[in-house]
Amino acid sequence: MSVQDYLSAVKIGKKEYHACVNKGTYPYLPVLEDIIDESSIDREVSLGSDQIPLRLVVGTCTAGRTTAFADNFMPILDWGTEFSAKWASLSDSQVNEGIRDDIKVYEYMNKFYVLEGNKRVSVLKYFKAVTVSAQVIRKIPKYSDDPDVKIYYEFMDFYKSTKLNDIYFSKEGSFTTLMELVGITPGEPMDEDDKKDLVSCYLNFRLAYESRGGDKFDFPTGDSFLRFIHIHGYDAVKRMTKSEMAKNVAKTWAEFELIDDNSEVELKMTPAAAPKKNILSYLLPMGGVKKLKVGFVYEKTPQDSEWCYAHELGRQYIDDTFGDQIETYVEENVIPEQSDEAAINRLIEKGCDLIFLTSSAMSMAGLKAAIAHPSVKILDCSLNISHKYIRSYYARMFEAKFITGIIAGSMADDDNVGYIADNPVYGACANINAFALGVKFVNPRAKVYLEWNSINDNDSEGNLAKKNISIISNQDMITPGKSKRRFGLYKASDSDKHLAMPVWHWGVFYEKLIQSIMSGSWSKDEDGDNVKALNYWWGMSAGVVDLIYSESLPSATKRLVKLFEKELKEARFRVFEGELKDQQGNIRVEEGKLIDPEHIITMDWLLDNVVGRLPRYDELTDNAKLKMALQGVIKEEE
């Protein structure tokens, strides 16, 4: 029997060897001493005896025996050698009593390289063993800015609490996130029962995931496991039976495909062509009277939030536009990650066909609901969120900010202008820089002084007042329930003089989205093998962004404003074009070049005429920190 096992193993090994040769890859075991430069190692640490996953035993420490094995650890030497006889003897031992002696390995970057016991590993892999007992010495690389090294240092913190090697990630911050979601305290041993729960649900997930081909993706299974927990919640995941796990993995599959596609987001820059038939003919089935039910979820109320107020005006707009052919429902004061799931489910229970989430912090709750209820279309008001099951929508407000910058630069008497920003999320830097470009367009000497409302205990208006800055760009709209009347672009004084106000036409946005959905373009975007996340990012050319300005502006300024309004609405002008330098003098855009939309969204730098900086994570309010997790241009470690 042992001879037959060896011959079968050789057959597997030679098949792998020839496959590697045909692909032009190294056909033997990787050798640790060829992989690392000892000068890059900070220190070695003995981890003692441990049960290590065989799938992570990938190579050998020295080149002495490497050519006896294919890269899958199967032997490739013919029968009759001393090597083959020893392998066969170990095979008998495994069958009769099991291989018990520890092998010796080096662990480097969570991969194991055999110092003693190559044949034992080969035999155990042939018999599909899961783990092997090993004496482990860890080689720790010197800390550096290399993302892989940073991830490995996060892994070591995770390992210190859990002693688990199986779970690994390809992105920085993932281990920290998992520990928070699971309830692992850094530096403290994980409770054994809690550890069993984590191991059990991860193995159930991996079984379901790999049975559908997840092991073919070019990233660690942990990446998908973490996204799965984000969507469904850890408490729900650890309670799933194997059959429930398999069903939910299948439902969530497109999210894993997005990871494989590098989370690419496809931007829809303009609305689909308006339907030739009246929109109501799409809303009504033949001979039926079914109304389209649309739900809106607000983080606050329209009375105490200018953001919710703007969306409420949009809801009222579509109510008026579609009349009795549409019903709208509202959930107010919904707290992200606390009451958002319940609010979305209430709208689904009311029969909503379409749900708009007006806060980016609710996207995970929306994603979970969309997976559970695939017939309901859910859209999240945000930028650059890469999920297949929900889509995002936002407006190119930077276009209107550019024009308000022109007005601000024209009206500034002392070459100083103020800009008060809210949260450092995707699109915020584009708004600031577009405003600064507008200022520079008419006044090259002017500086834009930046303040952030999202910094704890920061008196933005007071700071600008101390600098005697009177021309200020602040929140875009009035807040109905508050006495504060400083919004848009204004000249600060005892009687504030409003100069201009950017306008979010959410009603037009919602109308055009409903039209695009009902005319069939939503379904067309899902045809074929398309797994990209979709983001509707429309601007002045679509009528979803506009500008209201004072008639008291100088006539020359009004002419300039009208000119750029026309150019932007007819899509003949691009704001971010030509040479642009950041605050450090680096050329971010060369003369004659244009920034692509993706880089406008993720912009995390400020122009050279901006005085100020992006806030640090630890300076932000709790509400702002919540938005940073999904939409922030700054991250927690910064």
Q: Euclidean distance between the first and final Cα of the chain, in Å?
A: 60
pLDDT for residue 546 is more than 90 = yes
Of the listed ranges 233-237, 272-276, 317-321, the least confidently predicted one is 272-276
What number is the average pLDDT over the span 8-18?
95
Please state, rounded to an integer, the average pLDDT across all residues of the chain: 89
Q: How far apart are CA 346 and CA 137, in angstroms?
A: 54
**∠ CA 237-242-247, rounded to 5°:** 75
| Residue 623, token pair as written in the block | 């509400």
Instruction: Give the pLDDT score at 478.
Output: 67
Domain 268-394+527-538 bears CATH identifier 3.40.50.2300 = yes
pLDDT for residue 397 is more than 90 = yes
Phi, psi angle pair for 565, to nearest 5°: -55, -50
Residue 2 confidence class, pLDDT cut points 50, 70, 90: confident
Residue 285 confidence class, pLDDT cut points 50, 70, 90: very low
- State the angle between helix axes of 118-126 and 2-23 in degrees (0 to 180), rounded to the nearest 10: 100
pLDDT for residue 480 is more than 60 = yes
Which H or E run includes 447? strand 447-452
Report yes or no: 438 and 406 within 8 Å, Cβ to Cβ: yes
| Residue 198, token pair as written in the block | 């984590």
Residue 75 confidence class, pLDDT cut points 50, 70, 90: very high
Report yes or no: 119 and 87 within 8 Å, Cβ to Cβ: yes
Residue 283 confidence class, pLDDT cut points 50, 70, 90: very low
Which residue would you say has higher pLDDT here, 480 or 216? 216
What number is the average pLDDT over the span 372-387?
86
In which order are the strands placed within the sheet that holds 416-421? 545-549, 497-504, 489-491, 471-473, 416-421, 447-452, 610-611
Q: How far apart are CA 100 and CA 127, in angstroms?
A: 14
Give CATH 3.40.50.2300 domain extents, the chain. Answer: 268-394+527-538, 398-508+543-631
pLDDT for residue 277 is more than 70 = no
CATH of domain 1-142: 3.90.1530.10
CATH of domain 398-508+543-631: 3.40.50.2300
Residue 458: which residues within 8 A CB-CB, separation 6 or more? Answer: 451, 452
What number is the average pLDDT over the span 247-252?
93
Phi, psi angle pair for 137, to nearest 5°: -120, 125
Residue 524: which residues within 8 A CB-CB, separation 6 or more? Answer: none
- State the angle between helix axes of 363-372 and 242-251 in degrees (0 to 180), rounded to the nearest 10: 110
